[in-house]
Structures are given as structure tokens and as C-alpha cells.
Amino acid sequence: MNSILGFDPASLSVFTQPEVKSENQFNSNIYKARPAESKSTDGIYRATIRLVYSPQNMTRSILERQSYGLTDARGFFQVVSKLTNNDTSCPIFSAWKQCRYSKNPVLQAQAATKDKGGNGLFDKRFERYVTIQVMDDQNHPELNGKYMFWKLPKFVYEALQAKMKPSDESNKASIPVMDALFGRAIYLEVKPGPDDPNAPERRTRETSYNTTEISDDIMSCTNPDGSPLLTADEQKILDAYIEAMTPIWKSRDPQKREEMMAAVNADPNTIKLGEIYKNVIEKMKEFCPDLVAELGYNEWSEDVTKRVNDWIACVLAGKNPAAVITTSVDQVESATATVTPADTAVPPTAAPTAAAPGADDLPF
């Protein structure tokens, strides 16, 4: 393992948790590569970005967020679930379990998805987010240098996993793609959908990645204004470290790689870089948005909590919340008093269910 801060790319929490799938949610601070905004003659949106370890919480640098899209009489709203933190006490998840394992077909239908003949009320969503720095985007040059969030497409996640946590059978070294100082760049090419006069919406709806390439060469992050994170002397220390690490990253011999790694870790230059790196992390916290704090689970406001509770009350009463006009749980109970759900038997260890596959590979 690399001794810089004692951090191993394979230790990201995302690599040790069970995988589920879902869809995306709009957020104004999320980087979006939309072909409709491309300035190229072929309509392809091209950009170079750098994925970055979250300086505030490195092990959660890939945030797996679970949320619910709910609809009541006031319209659609979305809430981030406690499931994001592996906390199964989420009241919406508890309500889903109550319906899912009920003996009452009315409640069973509340939990079941529409493709299985149910009402599809529990719209559970899943997305992976990372912190990035926009290195070069000619379509939106005002974003160059900015640190933002990016919804990580499934196939890019799988490419990262292959690089950062390769299988033992591959004999490959772990490549720190997301490291701010000696990570790699990602080259994006996003193409629009087909031009169909009979269905013009296809051009936006069928947007897809043309290619997304992870560079072999190292590209260090910079300050938001484009200036280097390191001084000239610090850069020399980093260069020496990269020179020593390059044969290790390329090696397919685990035993030889371990021996070389031990020598690099014992090198005084590596110790110096470790001290520099600590300062870089603290510096990045000043301008790098906090991925977990901003996009992770936070306690719901009083208004949101009440709205969710009203929604749950309608669901458990066998009603569609979108069709019940109410301002309080008491009114829900009064309006739905004729429905008496049967007893439920909820397995205490029931795990969160995976949502149906969503637009994991869409660029926004």
C-alpha cells in the first residue's frame, strides 16, 4: 500500500458495499456535459475532467446516495434517505417493508412496482457522485478550474474499479486515478441522440457517451485559478516520487511490486511528500465543496418531515397520496378510516431493495 497518508485507493467505502441501482436527481452544482450546449461542429460535447478524492472524507470520495421520489397532492418532491448512511431506520423504507410483507393485497400493491402490477409509489433512486475539477471545457470555459460534483456513470465506475481495485487474478497494481497530485485525467465525449423529424426529443433523450477515456499520464489538480498546488521545490519532490512509482504501477509481478513499494515507502523523499500532501489536503478544503455534507443525507426539515409522514400515512391507509388533499396526518387518518390494512410480518433483517436500473450512463 502507498504510505502517503496511509491511504489505499481500494479502501474507498464504495468498493466494500453491496451494489444497487437507480436514477439521478438534478442539482445546480453538478457538472453536466450536455451535447445541446456543445460548441463543436459535430455536436459532440468534449471535456477533460479530474476525479478527486474528497478532502473532507477520503474514504467516501464516491458517494452512493439513496433517495425517494415521492408525489402527493402538492406535487413531486425528493428526499435523501438514511439508507445513504446504511441506516435502515428510514421511515419511508420502513413503510415499504410494512407494505411489502403485508398479508393485505392492498398494501402489497402499494409496494409493488408498476411493471409487476403494483402502484409504484415507492420510487427509490440511487446515484453515485464524485468530486471533480474541470480541467478543460471549451463549451463552458467559465467552469475551467472549478471543483464540482459529477454523477458517476456506471461504466466509468466500473473502469475506476478496475484501475483502483483490480482483481488479484489480474496481477495489476492499484492506480490512484482520483489522487489530486498523481491521479489521471478523464476525457469525455458525449454525443447527442439521432436527428428524427418524427421524434425530435430523441436528440436529447438518447444522449450517450461516445467515448470516455482514462489517461495513462498523470495530471495534477490545480488551484481554481489554474495555478499549481505545489511550489517549485515541492513539485520536484512529487516528480521524484512519481518516477519511483511508475515502474510499480506498470508491474505485473506482485512480489516484485511489494519489494519496490517497501523501498519507496522507506525513501525520505516519500516522507517529505507525505507532509506536503497533508498541507495540500487542508488547502483543498478551503475551495473544494464537501461531497458528503452537500449531497449526502442530512436531517430533514420540519416541513419535509411532516410532508413525508403525511405521505406515509396515506400509503399505509391504502390510498394514493397524490389524490388525497390533506394538511395533516390526522386528516389523512380521518379521510381513509374505511381502509383497515391487515397485520404485517416484516422480516427484521429485510435489506433495502434495489431500484430498477435507471439512466446510470446518462451524462446528467
Burial of 255 (0-12, 13-18, 19+ CB in 10 A): exposed
Give the pLDDT of residue 212: 76
Whether residue 260 contacts residue 248, with contact meaning beta carbons closer than 8 Å, is answered with: yes
Neighbours of 46 (CB within 10 A): 21
* pLDDT tens sequence across 27-65: 678 899 999 999 999 999 999 999 999 999 999 999 999
User: What is the secondary structure of 224-244 as a DSSP string?
Assistant: TTS-BSS-HHHHHHHHHHHHH
Q: Give me 186's grid cell.
A: 478523464
The per-residue pLDDT for range 222-231, each reduced to its tens digit, is 999 999 999 9
Q: What is the pLDDT at residue 20? A: 35
DSSP label of 15:
G
Residue 73 exposed, middle or buried by CB count within 10 Å (0-12, 13-18, 19+): middle
- Round to whole Å and give the CA distance between 28 and 22: 20
Residue numbers of the chain with a pLDDT score lower than 70:
1-27, 325-364
DSSP 363: -
**Looking at residue 26, what is its pLDDT?**
53
pLDDT of residue 213: 87
pTM of the prediction?
0.81
Nearest to 190 by CA among 349, 31, 7, 10: 31
